[in-house]
Structure 1
Amino acid sequence: MSKEKVYIFDTTLRDGEQVPGCQLNTLEKIEVAQSLELLGVDIIEAGFPVSSPGDFTSVVEISKAVNQPTICALTRAVEKDIDVAADALRFAKHPRIHTGIGVSPHHMKYKFNATPEQIVERAVAAVKYAKKYVEDIEFYAEDAGRSENRFLAKVIEAVIAAGATVVNIPDTTGYCLPDEYGAKIRYLKENVKNIDKAIIATHCHNDLGLATANSIAGVINGARQIECTINGIGERAGNTSLEEAVMIINSHKRLSLETSINTKRLYPTSRLVSTLMRMPVQANKAIVGRNAFAHSSGIHQDGVLKKRETYEIMNPKQVGVNESSIVLTARSGRAALKHRLTSLGYKLDQKELDEAYKEFLDLADKKREVHNDDLMALMGKTARHDRKIQLESLQVLCGKSAIPTATIRLKYEGQTWEGTDTGNGPIDAAINAVKTIITTKTTLEELLIHTITRGSDDMGKVHVQVESKGKVFYGFSANTDIITATIEAYLEALSQVV
């Protein structure tokens, strides 16, 4: 059975950017837009050009920087808005104007003080006016979720006749239940005579936590465009999460639907948006949260180690995550402990494992999570093996008016090597200095710094995670000099790579 395509309309740069404190400058918006193009989104809503000179400029520059996706600009049903949007889209390879008006009783009475007939007239006029500039016109029926279905159908039929190519049915307030929203889409499919001439789009908000569920209900009932954002960010409680909607479609083959999204880029795109917008992703966020593929229950860990599909419906690699994580806590079982100890180079028989497990539980009851260095201490060792790379000396120059510079001396392969480099801080400079000597290609995946004691003479411990050729290597060190501790941990990880 052939699959029908669902178009992915990303509004991270418009609706998503309405989150307080998450505004981006034009260069940052271009970076996100280019990442969205690599992700494979079909339409990028680049902004609301009439709202500010900055938004206008961003739409212009994104139109220049992106080639494949349709670039969309939002307007109200106002001629000046549409003029400005058309001007902003003049460099777009595939331009779309997104215009519309409120159609619910609330909006008609309190926002526009207009009759239903006047709303239909304004909607049709806006679509016809926009059609003078571009062929691809999307009409949004704002607050459609709380509108009366017969009137909504009347508006939609009229704007399609006027030239709308996409009709957006927003649940603007996030009020609808999935069966209610799905029924609304189905009603339009069955009662709008010219509905076959336009694509129905969903645009759902998350005020009751139902945005993704409503969007999926919409496509099940005939919608073929989902409007969404990376990480589900957006006004108030947010929008439909792009990664959730896409992976639901990917996972449920019986829907016979597909998207053009390169799912392996979901996680890196999520990280980029989170970093640029300074909006952390909650740990338990579906698909891209830190705990999305983490297991701490002993029963779950045992099942995953035996066969991943026992407790995971998706392979983490599908969404750009290297591997599932087995988190060691007091809830973990012997299987998880043995798995981690084996990865650290320890080979235990059953008796040794039983003894280690008792000690592990005592330790786990005192800590939230047991890390690799804790296990090494538990096993009575300070390192997995003799380190191939030894730190002989480290000197760092930094300060308010100085460029951070590090000079390092390493003993490696029977020789002493010295390297110097700069960085955006003392730790970065020291790591860069190491890279002038150890040139093996690696990626520093994670650097965690914790304090062990209190006061100005804190003992700090550092965990480092390095990736090379698809494999992950860990390093640990503790020192009152946090820069030295970081380099020692980094060298421990590198020693396993070279």
Structure 2
Amino acid sequence: MSKDKLIIFDTTLRDGEQSPGASMTRDEKVRIAKALEKMRVDVIEAGFPIASVGDFEAVNAVAKVIKDSTVCGLARAKEADIDRAGEALKPAESKRIHTFLATSPIHMQHKLHMTPDQVVEQAVHAVKRARQWTDNVEFSPEDAGRSELDFLCRVIEAVIDAGATTINIPDTVGYNIPQQFGELLKNLIERVPNADKAVFSVHCHNDLGLAVANSLSAVLNGARQVECTINGLGERAGNAALEEIVMAVRTRQDIFACDTTLDTTQILPCSRLVSGITGFPVQPNKAVVGANAFAHESGIHQDGVLKSRETYEIMRAQDVGWTDNRIVLGKLSGRNAFKTRLKDLGIEIASEEELNEAFARFKDLADKKHEIYDEDLQAVVKDAFSTMEHESLKLIALKVCSETGETPVATVTLNVRGEEYTGSAPGSGPVDASFRAIDSVVGNHTQLMLYSVNNITSGTDSQGEVSVRLEKAGRIVNGQGADTDIVIASAKAYLNALNRFELPANPRAHPQLGDV
């Protein structure tokens, strides 16, 4: 018996970008969109076009380059929002407008100041307006998880009659639990008279750690689209993680009457790309894509896996993109071998200038490390892309003196918009001293909100990857840096974040704030 298709709707570029400090440039969004397309994601929600000029341009840029996935734009149930989304999506070969309106009593009363009749009327009008731009229209009753069932059925029936082809049921505040949420989907599909004319979808937030469980419960009860993000990225506690949804359905085909058509070998490369661009590291014990996801420390587990993988592994690491391949390039290796390996890893180099920058950084790393792994290459390219896109502050040299019983002192030389400057400062440790030395040069007045270190590969010569989060005048940015010297990696990450402050601010409207 043939299986139903489960549509994967990725909202990393829209809902995922609402994480503090996770804002992406237009070019970064395009790179992620291309990776999602390569993974064969069905629908890519590229942004909220009316939020800002930058958001409009990013959605438009994604719409121009993506050919094999549907490109979606979000719009509130307002004519201006819908028309702005339609304009942004014009170049797309396959497009969708996703419009939404709150339906819970608390939202209707306190946010919308609308009666139930007015909400139904506005929802229908929004869908009809969207149909003027595309036949592919999705409607979401915001805060459906706290909406009254009878009213929810009424709204859904009306918007399907108006032309909505996908009905998305969001757990907007992560309030639901799996059994309850699954029953909600089942009841809606059974009670809405024209439910067969639309695909039912879910969009779950992870406030109680149940986003994936709620999504899967909905799928078991008839949902055939799941809205999710790479690495579970998203505001507050995040969204349902794409990699967990896809692999749960793929692994438990004995339970699910559907499956996705994703190329799961692209999951890990896409995870690393998103992590690198947003500055949100993946925790080691994260399911599917964490560094420990397929690691077995226990002797019993190791013995079992060696004898038969299925004893303790329910998935093959290779199926989601993990590999034992090791690149054996060195200082004498040529650009062609380097470029070929990047292509094997699914890393696109858009220009000769980017290749030159990445290759130069690879050569520098080859001087420091005897063995270079694929993870090292990905960090090298991430560094190079960051440099090419926005680096008005560049590290030239860093010297740190640190010894027991003495106050560490750092001296840093920076290239600041073409001019070299040197500054020194003491600190409570070598990293603190380095940051203070940088501040003495650039006159920085930011607050360090997060500092974390992860090893990229194993071994004492491993590169360390540092993530920092800075806040300045209410604006939050993330930065990352990698090096075999953890202090230098820290300085790179700090400068990477400061360079993001140099980019023009892109103030945007939040889709869930403001009256309709």
- Secondary structure, counterpart of 1:295 in structure 2: coil
Change (3 A) 1:430 1:143: closer
- Determine the structure 2 residue equivalent to 1:234: 234
**Equivalent position of 2:292 in the other structure:** 291
Aligned amino acid, residue 88 of structure 2: A
Identity %: 51
Q: In the alignment, what sits opposite 1:261?
A: 262
Cα distance change of structure 1 residues 13 and 191 upon mapping to structure 2, 3 Å threshold: same
For 1:18, give the aligned amino acid.
Answer: Q
State the SS of the aligned residue for 2:227.
strand
Q: Deviation string for 1:330-375 (max 9, x for gaps)?
A: xxxxxxxxxxxxxxxxxxxxxxxxxxxxxxxxxxxxxxxxxxxxxx
Aligned residue number for residue 308 of structure 1: 309
Alignment of 1:92-111 (within 5 A): 92-111=92-111
Letter of the structure 2 residue corresponding to residue 182 of structure 1: G
- Decide whether the 8 Å contact of 2:330 with 2:363 is kept in 1: no
Q: Residues 390 and 117 (structure 1 numbering): CA distance in 2 closer, same or farther, change over 3 Å?
A: closer
| Map of 1:43 onto structure 2 | 43
Match of 2:342 in 1: none
Conservation of the 8 A alpha-carbon contact between 2:366 and 2:372: no
Give SS of 2:76's match. coil
Shift of 1:115: 1.0
Structure 2, gaps ≥5 residues long: 332-355, 380-399, 409-454, 463-483, 486-516
Q: Is the 8 A contact 2:330 2:366 kept in 1?
A: no
What SS class does the counterpart of residue 186 from structure 1 fall into? Answer: helix
Instruction: Quote the residue 1:318 is aligned against.
Output: 319
User: Residues 443 and 204 from structure 1, CA distance in 2 versus in 1: closer, same or farther, beyond 3 angstroms?
Assistant: same
2:18 equivalent to 1:18: yes
**Superposition deviation, residue 445 in structure 1:** 3.6
Shift of 1:209: 0.4
- TM-superposed CA distance for 1:256, in Å, is 2.6
Structure 1 CA distance, aligned partners of 2:457 and 2:190? 55
Paired letter, 2:314: I
Query: TM-score scaled by structure 2?
Result: 0.66
Check the 8 A contact 1:444/1:465 in 2, yes or no: no
Contact 1:316 1:323 in 2 (8 A): no
- Structure 1 residues 195 and 431: alpha-carbon distance in aligned structure 2, compared to 1, 3 A threshold: same
Please give the alpha-carbon distance, in whole angstroms, between the structure 1 residues aligned to 2:358 and 2:38: 28
Q: Retained in 1: the 8 A contact 2:145–2:181?
A: yes
Q: Distance in 2 between matches of 1:30 and 1:157?
A: 36
Query: How far apart are the structure 2 equivalents of 1:119 and 1:424?
Result: 53
Residue aligning to 2:432: none
- The one-letter code matched in structure 1 to 2:280 is M
Displacement after TM superposition at 1:429 (Å): 3.6
Q: Which runs of 5+ in 1 are unaligned?
A: 325-387, 392-421, 457-462, 467-473, 484-498
Change (3 A) 1:425 1:442: closer
Write the letter of the residue equivalent to 1:258.
Answer: D
Q: 1:475 to 1:176 in 2, by over 3 A?
A: closer
Report deviation, 1:141: 0.6
Per-residue deviation, 1:390: 12
Q: SS in structure 2 opposite 1:44?
A: strand
For 1:291-331, what per-residue CA distance to the aligned partner results, in whole angstroms no more than 9, with x for missing partners? 1111112221222222221111001001011259xxxxxxx
| 1:430 to 1:155, Cα distance in 2 relative to 1, 3 A | closer
Matching residue's letter, 1:13? L
Q: Which residue of 1 aligns with 2:274?
A: 273
Write the mapping of 1:114-263 to structure 2, written as runs, cut at 5 A: 114-254=114-254, 255-263=256-264
Using the alignment, how far apart are the partners of 2:195 and 2:31 within structure 1? Answer: 36
* TM superposition score normalised by structure 1: 0.69
**Distance (whole Å) between structure 2 residues aligned to residue 306 and residue 300 of structure 1:** 10
Q: Secondary structure at the match of 1:82?
A: helix
Deviation for aligned residue 1:275: 0.3
Give the 3 Å change call, closer, same or farther, for CA 304–323 of structure 1 in structure 2.
Answer: farther
> Is the alpha carbon distance of 1:299 and 1:137 closer, same or farther for their aligned partners in structure 2, counting shifts above 3 Å?
same
Q: Distance in 1 between matches of 2:140 and 2:124?
A: 12
Corresponding letter in the other structure for 1:230: I
Separation in 1 of the partners of 2:323 and 2:233? 24
CA deviations over 1:24-74 (Å, ceiling 9, x no partner):
000000000000000110000000000000000001100001001111100
Q: Is the 8 A contact 1:144 1:172 kept in 2?
A: yes
Inter-partner Cα distance in structure 2 for 1:11 and 1:287: 19
Name the counterpart of 1:57.
57
Runs of 4+ aligned structure 1 residues displaced above 6 Å come to 388-391, 422-427, 463-466, 474-477
Distance 1:246 1:89 in 2: 27
Q: CA deviation at 1:283?
A: 1.0
Deviation at 1:428, TM superposition (A): 4.0
The one-letter code of the counterpart of 2:138 is E
| 1:352 counterpart residue number | none
Q: Write the deviation string for residues 151-209 of structure 1: whole angstroms up to 9, x where unpaired.
A: 10110000000000001100001111101110010011110010110000100000000
Secondary structure of the equivalent of 1:75? Answer: strand
Using the TM superposition, give the Cα deviation of residue 424 of structure 1 relative to its aligned residue in structure 2, in angstroms. 7.1
Shift of 1:465: 6.5
Verify the 8 A CA contact 2:175 2:208 in the aligned structure 1: yes
Higher-RCO chain (CA-CA 8 Å, sequence separation at least 6)? 2
Q: Distance in 2 between matches of 1:145 and 1:7?
A: 21
Question: Post-superposition shift, 1:132?
Answer: 1.2
Q: Distance in 2 between matches of 1:9 and 1:279?
A: 21
Larger of the two Rg values belongs to structure: 1
- CA–CA distance in structure 2, aligned partners of residues 107 and 299 of structure 1: 53
* 3-state SS in 2 of match to 1:168: strand
Equivalent residues of 1:185, 1:221 under 8 A apart:
yes
1: CA distance, partners of 2:165 / 2:360: 55
Deviation at 1:475, TM superposition (A): 9.3
Q: 1:321 to 1:88 in 2, by over 3 A?
A: same
Q: Which residue of 2 aligns with 1:71?
A: 71
Alignment check: 8 A CA contact 2:59 2:88 kept: yes
State the distance in 2 between where 1:106 and 1:476 align: 56
Number of equivalences: 368
